[in-house]
Amino acid sequence: MPSKKLAIIATKGTLDWAYPPLILASTASALGYETQIFFTFYGLQILKKELDLQVTPIGNPGMPMPSNMPIPVILQAMPGMQALVTNQMKKRMANKGIVGISELRDLCIEADVKMIACQMTVDLFDFNRNDLLDSCEYGGAATFFEFAGESDINLMM
């Protein structure tokens, strides 16, 4: 029986949004799916060799605050707040046994998840190929559809 296929488009470059595509891709691989992720726009941050993914509560009223203390929106914009919240999130994740994003990405690579960087956005942001994973490939929309067209599941995140 040919394996099922999963195609994901990852468009977000925050720490929290880096998780869903990588969790689903690694799990799908473990279930026998052939999996491909197309990273475009801010999603390219997930392909950086040196990951520096952050979270911010700004514009995200659903994010639980440390100790459940609500922080007024104007204070959320204070310098250092993003680093503080990111730090808290990472600590919380570690305490809950949630895998670090870099390790999760390694697990995807190990599981042969194919990662494609959107060439157009690489150019748009003047990203240097040397700053992105050596194992990632480069392509455009047609490259994505070549795989997506024969995939059983297509997700955009």
Partner 1 sequence: MANVDQTLDASGLNCPLPLLKTKKALSALDVGQTLCVTCTDPGSMKDFIAFCKQTGHELLESSEADGSFSFLILKR
Residue 98 lies near partner 1 (rule: CB under 8 A):
yes
Q: Give the contact letters, 104-133, x = binds to partner 1 (CB under 8 A), - = no.
A: ---x---x----------------------
Q: Tell me how far the alpha carbon of residue 7 is from its chain's centroid.
A: 14
Helix, strand, or coil here: 80? coil
Residue 99 lies near partner 1 (rule: CB under 8 A):
yes
How many residues does the structure list for the chain? 157
Q: Give the contact letters, 17-56, x = binds to partner 1 (CB under 8 A), - = no.
A: ------x--xx--xxx------------------------
DSSP state of 49: S
Centre a 10 Å sphere on the Cβ of residue 14 and count the other Cβ atoms it contains.
18
DSSP state of 134: T
Site residues (vs partner 1, CB under 8 A): 23, 26-27, 30-32, 96-99, 107, 111
